[in-house]
Amino acid sequence: MRHLTLLIIKCLKYKLTMKKSDESFFFYSDGIKVPVILKTHSNARRIIMRVSCNRDLSGTNLIFVTLPIGVHDDEARKFLEKNESWVVQQLTKLPPAIQFVDGAHVPYFGVPHKIVHKPSARRGVWKEQQMIFVSGNTEFINRRVIDWFKKEARVIFTSRVKSKTSMLKIGFGRISIRDTHSRWGSCSSNGNLSFSWRLLMAPDFVFDYVISHEVAHILEHNHGQKFWQLTTSLSSDMLAAKRWLKEFGDGLMAYY
Ligand SMILES: [Zn+2]
């Protein structure tokens, strides 16, 4: 019951931070309140629902519903109502959220690192061997570690983008590090790239593939044959990375 109450509080927080681009509402069932993210997709032939390990910034799980073009939002509500007990069952099966706290093990480049709290160190966050040290008050550990991951991701992903774009002799726009819940990376038409900081928890070959994928989009704004050839040539092991993301990608969302 306490968990459900927390879930409701977290959902309310989510409502305040929800992006306007997502057409969304809440799924209610017997004390449960979960945000539903609606998308329309031209390839969708029927309504597709996914109860996801992905979490919003406050740690609440999300339900994604993809609608075929021309299908009204109300159909998604009816669909969820019809499948209510299945949705609740799926929500209870999801792994619990993991916070970055003292003693927790979190992956960095795919290798578990132990978080060690050093309250009086006054050094911010730093890494030594397989430990991530955090100074300051206990209540700020989670936020500080996430900020550190974002900073590290910016440095490491930028240098990787530079080396891949220089191989192709092309430029790139701005790089942003995000906490998106539906994609690992993106490339805009003017060459701006964005990546999820969570990729830094994955092994090198995994984020290397996502970076290769987005860099290839600077030249090829589609998923055609040329695009995949380019991505394969830039990526250290594309197939293994795709398999990894499929199997373990959602698991990275347990950390928030
Ligand atoms: Zn793509």
| CATH number of the CATH domain containing 249 | 3.30.2010.10
Residue 52, pLDDT score? 81
Same domain, 181 and 249: yes
Single out the residue in 93, 113, 140 at which a domain terminates: 93
Task: With 0.75 as the threshold, say if the pTM is over it.
Answer: no
Instruction: Tell me, in angstroms, the distance from the centre of ligand 1 to residue 106's CA.
Output: 28
How much is the pLDDT for 58? 67
220: CA distance to ligand 1 center in Å?
9
For residue 241, report the distance from its CA to the centre of ligand 1, in Å: 14
CB neighbour class for 147 (10 Å; exposed up to 12, middle 13-18, buried from 19): middle
Same domain, 61 and 136: no
Which residue intervals of the chain are DSSP H helices? 2-17, 73-82, 84-93, 141-168, 204-219, 225-234, 238-252
Q: What integer pLDDT is reported at residue 204 of this predicted model?
A: 98
> How far does the centroid of ligand 1 lie from the alpha carbon of residue 195, in Å?
12
143 in the same domain as 89: no
Q: What's the whole-number average pLDDT of the chain?
A: 87
Distance 221 CA to ligand 1 centre (A): 8
End-to-end CA distance of the chain: 22
Residue 99 lies in a domain: no
pLDDT at 181: 66
pLDDT tens digits, 60-87: 788 989 999 999 889 999 999 999 999 9
The residue out of 32, 64, 93 marking a domain boundary is 93
How far, in Å, is the centroid of ligand 1 from the Cα of 144? 31
109 Cα: distance to centroid of ligand 1 (angstroms):
22
Residue 98 within a domain: no
pLDDT computed for residue 251 by the predictor: 83
231, 238 contact by CB (below 8 A): yes
Examine the domain organization and report whether 75 and 177 are in the same domain. Answer: no
Q: Are residues 118 and 89 in the same domain?
A: no
Ligand 1 center to 215 CA (angstroms): 10
In the numeric block, the tokens 């994928």 are attached to 213
**Using CA atoms in the order 65, 69, 73, 77, what is the torsion angle rounded to 10 degrees?**
-50
Residue 3: its pLDDT value, please? 42
Amino acid 183: pLDDT: 85
Cα-to-centroid distance, 65 and ligand 1 (Å): 20
CA–centroid distance, 196 to ligand 1, in Å, is: 14
State the pLDDT at residue 227.
98
Q: Looking at residue 34, what is its pLDDT?
A: 87
* Same domain for 159 and 54: no
Cα(213) to centroid of ligand 1, in Å? 6
Q: What is the largest CA-CA distance in the chain?
A: 58
Span from the CA of 222 to the centroid of ligand 1 (angstroms): 7
Domains held by the chain: number: 2
Q: What is the pLDDT of residue 7?
A: 36
Give residue 62 CA to ligand 1 midpoint distance, Å. 23
Is residue 193 domain-shared with residue 147, that is, in the same domain? yes
Specify whether 161 is located in the same domain as 244.
yes
DSSP state letters, 172-215: ---EEEE--SS-SEEE-TTS-EEEEGGGGGS-HHHHHHHHHHHH
Kindly give the distance from the C-alpha atom of residue 211 to the centroid of ligand 1, in angstroms, as a whole number. Answer: 10
Q: Do 80 and 110 fall within a single domain?
A: no
Alpha-carbon distance of 232 to 212, in angstroms, equals 8
Point out which residues pair with 128 in neighbouring strands. Answer: 131
Beta bridge partners of 64: 37, 50
Distance 219 CA to ligand 1 centre (A): 12
From the list 104, 108, 130, the residue with the least C-alpha distance to 117 is 104
CA of 223 to the centre of ligand 1 (A): 6
**Is residue 111 domain-shared with residue 136, that is, in the same domain?**
yes
- Ligand 1: distance of its center to the CA of 174 in Å? 18
pLDDT per residue as tens, the chain (256 positions): 334 333 333 333 333 233 333 557 888 887 788 889 898 888 899 999 988 877 776 667 889 899 999 998 899 999 999 999 999 998 888 877 788 999 999 999 999 999 999 999 988 999 999 999 999 999 999 999 999 999 999 999 999 999 999 999 999 999 999 987 668 999 999 999 999 999 999 999 999 999 999 999 999 999 999 999 999 999 999 999 999 999 888 888 777 7
Range of the domain at 219: 105-254
